[in-house]
Amino acid sequence: MICILSSGRSGTTYTSNLLNALGVDVGHEKVGERGMIGCNWYEFLDRPKYRGKFTRRLHQVREPIACIRSMLTLKNGIFSRIESVVGAPKLHPNEELRKVHRAASVYMRFNHLMASKASWTYRVEDLKFGSAVYDNLCNIFDVPRGTRPRILRLPLNINTRPKAGVPEVSWEILKKIDESLSDGIMSMAESYGYTYAKQEIT
């Protein structure tokens, strides 16, 4: 079986639907016949029932500013469970900035951990029909490409959440909260292949 590790709001619903459309039984935040995808992967890898059965681990990422912004819609319980795995920092005293600080810290710590456990890291934005990432994922799961044209109609924003009242997130705000954290996430993003215009980070 294959486990796709990812943080919350990294496009796991889209990817699980895509794989299911290709005939691959991959569970979203649960285990299917061929494996699972989700941010709760750590709840399964060490269970006696599944220990040793995930023969390959992949790591799906999403652009950090977009992902952190979307993570702000996650419930506190999800953050707490992930922090029990990756640790929790001392957060910014301002209430609104504290929320962004927490999400950004979880993004960086969690993705560092997942990258260390995975054999391949890919960007969900590159997972489009006919792309090299799409072809490689098909190879890994040993399924034909494009045999089910309806995958072309799967919306990338399939699991979008309303964002009313969600704090703003930008590189400037991350630097204001914690410059070393911002620099760490920027380095991580660049290692994934994301690039930014100078005005986005000043």
pLDDT of residue 113: 96
CATH topology of domain 2-200: Rossmann fold (3.40.50)
Mark the ranges of the chain whose per-residue pLDDT is less than 50. Answer: 199
Q: What is the pLDDT of residue 199?
A: 46
Quick one: pLDDT at residue 146? 63
Tens digits of per-residue pLDDT, 33-67?
A: 999 999 999 999 888 888 889 999 999 999 999 99
DSSP states of 152-199 as a string?
A: GG--TTTT----TTPPP--HHHHHHH-HHHHHHHHHHHHHHT----GG
Provide the residue ranges of all domains of the chain, joining segments of one domain with +. 2-200
Helix or strand (DSSP H, E) at 95: helix 95-117
Look at residue 78 and give its three-state secondary structure.
helix
For the whole model, what pTM was predicted?
0.88
| Residues 181 and 105 sit within 8 Å (Cβ to Cβ) | yes
- DSSP letter for 92, please: P
